[in-house]
């Protein structure tokens, strides 16, 4: 199975595994699962670091990208198809986070299961499988 990590899940998977649910820890540790991180996640982290929204983040973006790569996770580049899927996706008006929206549209297009603790992701369970 292929799983796409939400940004907070990616951060926890690298530096705070205890914050992950037991189910997510099992998914990540199971060797046959492919764990995927979008490059958009690194962009979101870079922005949040720059504006001070990740005070407990203890590495540079470059160090974090290296840690993600070293963990065996696959880094998914931004593709034109992802951007087109974003423009066509039927998003809920109360969920306006552009990074979340990109990840959800990408998960649907790529037929991946989304891993997120974010309650707003539950709005999309009829379009994308969400696990926590």
Domains assigned to the chain: 2-131 (3.40.50.1010)
Average pLDDT value for residue range 76-103: 89
Model's pTM, two decimal places? 0.93
Q: Map tokens 């990590």 to a residue.
A: 5
Structure tokens at 47: 């922005």
- Each residue of 41-56: b (16+ CB within 10 Å) or e? bbebbbebbeeeebee
Q: Which stretch of 1-10, 19-28, 30-39, 84-93 has the lowest confidence by average pLDDT?
A: 84-93
Of 46, 45, 44, 27, the residue nearest 35 (C-alpha): 27
């Amino acid at each position: 199975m292929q799983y796409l990590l939400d940004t907070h899940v990616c951060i926890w998977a690298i530096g705070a595994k205890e914050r992950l649910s037991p189910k997510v820890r099992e998914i990540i540790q199971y060797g046959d699962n492919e764990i995927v991180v979008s490059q958009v996640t690194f962009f979101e982290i870079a922005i949040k670091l720059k504006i001070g929204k990740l005070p407990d983040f203890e590495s540079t973006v470059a160090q974090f990208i290296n840690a993600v790569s070293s963990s065996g996770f696959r880094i998914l580049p931004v593709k034109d198809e992802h951007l087109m899927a974003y423009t066509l996706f039927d998003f809920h008006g109360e969920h306006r986070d552009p990074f979340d929206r990109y990840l959800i549209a990408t998960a649907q297009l790529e037929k991946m299961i989304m891993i997120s603790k974010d309650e707003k992701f539950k709005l999309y369970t009829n379009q994308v499988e969400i696990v926590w």
